[in-house]
Amino acid sequence: MAEPTTRVFLDANVIAKPVTRTLLMAGGPPSGFTTFWSATAESEATRHMRRRSVPPSDIRRRFGGTLGPTGAVNGRFNSTAATDRQILADADAGGASFLITEDVDDFDVEDLTSVGISAVTPDLFLASRLSRRAYAMVIALFVERQVSPPTTPAEFHSAIARQHLLLFAAHSDLYPIAPMPSPHPPPAVVFRGPNLVRPD
C-alpha cells in the first residue's frame, strides 16, 4: 500500500517561477508530497508570466498534474487579503496541508488555522521537505536540459542560492561551491499556520 502524501497548493507567484515550481513538482513525489493548483491560480500566473514562457497548463500536463477544485469563499477569510481569499478557498477545497506562496503575510493566521492549512515560503518548505535524493535529481534534470550556457550541477546549485538560500544551505555539502549572492532581501514572514513545516 502506498504511503500517503502531503497535498501542497502552489500560489500563482510560485507557479510563475520556473525553477521554483520544478523543484516542487518534480522533487515532491520522491520527498513525500504532491503539488497542485486551481484554475484561479493558473489564470493569475499566466497573466504575470513573461511573454514566450511555457504556459502553466503545459507545465501541469508535463508533470501529470490536474487542476484542483474551485472552493467557495462564502464570506470566509475576511482577515486575509481580498485578492487571496479565493486562493485559500481553493487550497482548502483541494485538501492541501500547505499553501506555498511568496506572500505569507497576505494570509491571516486565524483564517489558515480555521481550515488546517499553513502558508509557507517556497524556500523554507523546500529546505525542510525536499529530500537530498530529490534535490540532486532535480539539479541533474535542469543541467541536462540546459543548452546555453552549459552549467555543471555545482554551478546550478550555487545559482539556487539567489532565490533559495535556505535550500542551498540544507544541501550545501553536496557540492563544494559557494552560494551566489541573492539580489532580494529575505521576506519578513516565512510561515503561518497550524501544520509544522519540519515533520516530527
Nearest alpha carbon to residue 195 among 65, 33, 27, 30: 33
Beta bridge partners of 119: 99, 192
- Average pLDDT over the chain reads 92
pLDDT digits (tens, 9 = 90+) for 119-158: 999 999 999 999 999 999 999 999 998 766 778 999 999 9
pLDDT band with cut points at 50, 70 and 90 for residue 1: very low
Report the C-alpha gap between 6 and 97 in whole angstroms.
7
Nearest alpha carbon to residue 19 among 189, 159, 175: 159
Report the C-alpha gap between 37 and 45 in whole angstroms.
10
Cell numbers for 59, please give them.
507545465
What pLDDT was estimated at residue 151? 87
pLDDT digits (tens, 9 = 90+) for 151-169: 899 999 999 999 999 999 9
Average pLDDT over every residue of 10-39: 94
Report the C-alpha gap between 65 and 121 in whole angstroms.
21
How far separated are the first and last CA of the chain, in Å rounded? Answer: 22
For the whole model, what pTM was predicted? Answer: 0.93
